[in-house]
Chains A and B, each alone.
Chain A
């Protein structure tokens, strides 16, 4: 009985600490980790829908105009039909707009915009000067390796991509 009580005590303590750790703001305001960490965002439909086919790319990496273009023709998403019911589609677009690179909500977004021409709305993250600059040391051949597939597959090299962490230490370019 004593052990049972002690067990419950330990579990409660661990649970409380874990809850606190996850609810404390990380990094800079708005949950923006700064550096090479994506803003910490939670949005059910964004995570569920976008991430069924690819990483839920951070909205902070592209401007509002891009997200509007992408979501406006989601039934032809780079050649794939990714159509959604209208309610979900609008819900995701609102979220993307609110956290876009030019929404002023993140450090990374500001850095992406700094290297973007006015009114530019590239459809791919890989087309932004910010992305190109960040990857200038990656050999051309690495992108087309079977283990990588394409530059859209962040997690092939960024081992913590799912957690939004893109620092150099977590990079492993597969052979």
Chain B
């Protein structure tokens, strides 16, 4: 009984140490992201080269309309407007800072924030999560806007 208890501690400690380590690494990385580094990461996850990400596909993803709640159609542009250099509005009417890094350098610099909003907004617009390639395409398009 005592032996079993002793064995339990080791994996817990190990997992704990790994978790703390990962938290530290992700915390230090989070502030240092750029649109290009995020694209590299998403391309790697998708198993393609960053050059194979497509701004054109990203633009299509941004503009394509999907059936949303109560028979209305919804797209990224519904809230972020047709021009991502312009501020958008949430459903409740609050301002959304522009999505394009050219108009808002804060965009795509924090991977946790980027992941949070892809998760939420892909579920809202597409009713599913976005793939790594779609995320990479999306940033590829937004970051080439001058």
Contacts and interface: CB of A to CB of B under 8 A. Distances in A.
Interface of A: 51, 53-55, 75, 79-85, 148-150, 152-153, 155-156
B123 interface: yes
A80 B91 CA distance: 9
16 contacts: A51-B94, A53-B90, A53-B91, A54-B92, A54-B94, A75-B123, A79-B69, A80-B91, A81-B119, A84-B116, A149-B89, A150-B92, A150-B93, A153-B93, A153-B94, A156-B93
> Which of B92, B119, B123, B124: most chain A CB closer than 10 A?
B92
A83 B121 CA distance: 10
Contacts of B90: 53-54
Given A83-B119, A153-B94, 6 more contacts: A80-B120, A80-B124, A81-B119, A83-B123, A84-B116, A149-B89
Contact of A83 (B89, B93, B94, B120): B120
Interface residues on B, range: 10 to 19
B41 to A, nearest CB: 19
B94 A55 contact: yes
A149 B92 contact: yes
Contact of B94 (A53, A79, A84): A53
Contacts of B119: 81, 83
A37 B121 CA distance: 34
Main secondary structure of the interface of A (DSSP, over half): loop
Contacts, number: 40
A132 B116 CA distance: 35
Contacts of B91: 53, 80
Contacts of B120: 80-83
Contacts of A149: 89, 92-93
A75 B124 CA distance: 10
A44 to B, nearest CB: 14
Contacts of A51: 94
Contacts of B121: 81
A148 B69 contact: no
Interface in B52-110: 69, 89-94
Contacts of A54: 90, 92, 94
Interface string B14-25: 000000000000
Contacts of B92: 53-55, 149-150, 152-153
A116 B80 CA distance: 38
Nearest to A51: B94
B26 to A, nearest CB: 12
A81 to B, nearest CB: 4
